[in-house]
Amino acid sequence: MSRPGEAKLPHLFKPGQIGAFKTKNMIKYGACCVSNYNTRDGFITPRELARTRVIAGTGAGIITNQGAYPDPLGEGKAYFRQVALFDDKFLPQFETIAQYIHDNGAVAIQQILHAGRYGGIDLGYCIQPSVVPQTLPHFRPPRELSKEGIQDIVRQHAEAAKRSIRAGFDGTEVTSFMGYLLANFNSRFTNQRTDEYGGSVENRGRFMRELIDAIKQATPEHPLVIRLNGAELMDRWGGNSEDECFELMQQAVDCGVDMISVTVGWQEAPESSIGRDIPPGHWNYLSAKAKKMFPNTLITFGNRLPDPVMANQCIADGVFDFWEVCRPLLADPELIHKAAEDRLDEVRRCIGSLNCLSRLFRDLPYTCAMNPQLGHEVEPEYQITPAAVKKKIMIIGAGPAGLEAAITARRRGHDVTIFEKSDRVGGNLHGYSTNDLARPDDLISVINYYRTMIGKLGIEVRFNTEANAKFMRSILHQFDVCIIAAGARTDLGYYRHVPGHERMVDALDVARGTAKPGKRVVMVGAGKIGLTLAESLAKQGHQVTLVEEAKSIASDVMPSFKWRHSAWVEELDIKTLTSTTLVGMDDEGALVRNNKGEETRIPADTVVVSGPRKANHDLFNDFLWMIDELHGAGDAVIPRGLDASIHEGFRIGVRI
């Protein structure tokens, strides 16, 4: 029976086909990155199996399992806990995953991932076509592959493909995404060989053609997907042009691949491909070009395309055949079902914060800012189950931590009331999202999601109600539990010793629009709040100087987004003084002192202070003897970020 949303998105939910296999819709779950949930020697863990069971149930017509490295030495291994597929001993858990996928009516594809330039994580070196020095210091020094080594890798891929089919998968996928081995051979940057594997585009594509041929011979009845860059974004390093990328796609088509997944970027690319600063749909032109050039080959695409409505229109317009989606399904595994049921207002949108990649780049298991359950699917205590005892819960603060705690507790059957001193939900995220240069709509979507869910779950919110000891004393007897999620504030008291401190303007007031800075602004504090406001003000035409006590800016920014703030600071001509302290303010501006003791006067009309941040701890002491259970969540415990607030709110809501 058709669900109501399927009629609104008919192109997305129509049946499809890849090779001899029919698909229930035109959605492919993409293996966007490895999870790092597995053992150091490549075996799949119960934690991984629990995650893949959730992925298998997302409703996608094709499910791609995360990339496994194919060589016994581990030269292709990119991450400490990446899964392996170089021996039959690994097959039992792969068989389980393939069965999960088939049980949910999807076509099962196993990705084979040899990291090349980014591999050899346990070895102290990496292999690539040529010895091209690393531009990022955390990768291993390169060794050049011999012709015999190339043939070994081709054979290893073919054997891994055969194992995948024996494990029950319907097809395989090889990937050049993010600059892995296939991309290393294809690219002018890393392939500087002078033999038949280097030089012209034709020669650079030889490894790819041999790889495709070997896998197709090994698994002739099963589809092969190849992920290829439509744009490398590696111009700074002498990488391929877009035209060369499409010439390589043509070679893959001529070799008979069943599907091309069009991707964008390398890890070393000096510009973003999937972060919040890229608007949804920005890269669609690449898949449209591929579909036009290769009308008889399936094209799948999903780079920075989190919206099923846009995806449906893209399929209708011939931009691609299958919507390839990964991170949006990490953020909300129910996305496809909600789309089919016409409940898109309930979707937790992937906001492109790249918490997932930031964690991987630190060799940690990936998590998602929006989905606190990701990576914890195997743990019963992370599941939303009916409460053993129904309780009346009061939550102080309608920011992300309080809202997440509220909807989680309500889903478990508790009665929940939120007390919020302002007239709207969202907390400080409101002000900062409107000043965000990357993608304000993504951050605002977080607030909209919570607003929708508190309405649908029937959670009472008492606005314009400030929690204080006197007020709460009169109503606390009505509640069993209090969760303090009152956030944090700028610690203006930190500057009380500074002459002229009364002239300071709180960054939060600027973010809210209740304080209007002058033309020349000194922003004290270059963490994410100070940077966000400094960039916004500079964009509006203010002359901004950043003053930061630490040695560098962006200390509290996610690792995958630090570079973006540094680039904006440069692009917007924001002067930055690090290892520098504010020591005075007057009518002329700000007096600062660096770590050498040198003082400088910065002409300014307004001095805005964005840090340090101070948790709103006061209520903990006030309520300590007033209520049976007292908890804290988010910045009210210690100032951090959006991901910590959401995760902490969930953990409290799911256990009360």
Name all domains of the chain by residue range, CATH numbers in brackets: 4-360 (3.20.20.70), 388-487+616-655 (3.40.50.720), 492-613 (3.50.50.60)
In 373-495, the DSSP E strands lie at 392-396, 415-419, 460-462, 481-484, 488-490
- Tell me: pLDDT of 540 over 80: yes
pLDDT category, 244, cuts 50, 70, 90? very high
Instruction: Give, for 546, the enclosing helix (H) or strand (E).
Output: strand 543-547
DSSP 355: H
SS3 583: strand
What integer is the mean pLDDT of 474-502?
94
Q: What percent of the chain has pLDDT over 70?
A: 100
Taking the C-alpha atoms of residue 514 and residue 423, their distance in angstroms, rounded to an integer, is 15
- Tell me: pLDDT of 243 over 80: yes
The one-letter amino acid at 104: N
Instruction: Report the chain's mean pLDDT, rounded to a whole number.
Output: 95
SS3 631: strand
DSSP 69: B
The one-letter amino acid at 608: V
pLDDT at residue 213 in the model = 98
Closest among 221, 136, 131, 130 to 178, alpha carbons compared? 136
In 352-490, the DSSP E strands lie at 392-396, 415-419, 460-462, 481-484, 488-490
pLDDT at residue 473 in the model = 81
Using one digit for the tens of pLDDT, what is the confidence trace for 49-90? 999 999 999 999 999 999 999 999 999 999 999 999 999 999
Structure tokens at 213: 């041929």
Q: What percent of the chain has pLDDT over 90?
A: 88
The answer to whether residues 347 and 388 touch, using CB atoms and an 8 Å cutoff, is: no
Q: How far is residue 342 CA from its own chain's centroid? A: 25
Could you count the other beta carbons within 10 Å of the beta carbon of residue 260?
A: 25
Instruction: Give, for 338, the enclosing helix (H) or strand (E).
Output: helix 335-340
The answer to whether residues 84 and 41 touch, using CB atoms and an 8 Å cutoff, is: yes
Using one digit for the tens of pLDDT, what is the confidence trace for 521-536? 999 999 999 999 999 9
**Omega cis (within 30) before 612:** yes
Query: HSE of 554 in the Cβ direction (CA atoms, 13 Å)?
Result: 16
Closest among 180, 185, 211 to 114, alpha carbons compared? 180
SS3 502: helix
Query: HSE of 32 in the Cβ direction (CA atoms, 13 Å)?
Result: 23
First to last CA, the chain: 38
Has this prediction a pTM greater than 0.85? yes
Using one digit for the tens of pLDDT, what is the confidence trace for 93-147? 999 999 999 999 999 999 999 999 999 999 999 999 999 999 999 899 999 999 9
